[in-house]
């Protein structure tokens, strides 16, 4: 989870990713972020995030993202 937050923080050093749960709703991360994030997560955590997983619910908070990555790692 820390590694994930670190990756997010590189994109937006000013955001508190531990507590923010409206990354999509408030437009904090946008499509540019999501594209690079998916590529980086796939590489860093050796998962394969599929189109069906790329929905707003999974990207709204670092916690939700982490749950997605963990689920994919266990599959």
Partner 1 sequence: MNNVLEYLEETVLRVPEKTAFQNDSTAMTFSQVYSSARCIGSFLINSGYCCEPVAVFMNKSPQMIAAFFGVLYSGCYYVPIDEEMPQHRIKLVLDVLKPRFMICDEVTMQLAEGVSGCEISLYSEVSNFKADESALANVRETTLDIDPIYIVFTSGSTGIPKGIAACHRSVIDYIETLSDALEFGGNTVFGNQSPLCFDACLKELYPTIKFGACTVLIPKHLFSFPVKLIEFLNEYKINTICWVASALSLVSGMGAFDVLKPEYLHTVAFGSEVFPIKQFHRWREALPNATFTNLYGPTEATGMSCYYRVDRDFEDTEPIPIGKPFPNTGIMLIGEDGQLAKAGEAGEIYIRGTAVTLGYFRDPDRTEQAYVQNPLNNLYPETVYKTGDLAYVNERGELVYVSRKDYQIKHMGRRIELGEIEAVCNATDGVEIACCVFDDANSRIILCYSGAVEAPFLQEELKERLPRYMLPHSVYKLGALPFTLNGKIDRNLIKDTYAKGDKL
Which residue ranges make up the site for partner 1 (CB under 8 A)?
10, 13-14, 24, 27, 30-32, 34-36, 38, 40, 49-52, 54-56, 59
User: Cβ(8)–Cβ(62) under 8 Å?
Assistant: yes
CB of 10 to partner 1, least distance (A): 7
Please count the other Cβ atoms lying within 10 Å of the Cβ belonging to residue 17: 22
Instruction: Locate 20 and state its tokens.
Output: 């923010």
- Determine the length of the chain: 75
Nearer to partner 1, 35 or 71 (CB): 35
In the complex, what is the shortest distance from the CB of residue 45 to partner 1, in angstroms, rounded to a whole number?
Answer: 14
């Amino acid at each position: 989870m820390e590694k994930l937050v670190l990756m997010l923080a590189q994109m937006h050093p000013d955001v508190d990713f531990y507590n923010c749960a409206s990354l999509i709703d408030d437009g904090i991360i946008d499509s540019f972020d999501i594209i690079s994030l998916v590529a980086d997560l796939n590489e860093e955590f050796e998962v394969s995030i599929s189109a069906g997983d790329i929905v707003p619910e999974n990207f709204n908070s670092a916690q939700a993202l982490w749950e997605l990555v963990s689920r994919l790692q266990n599959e």
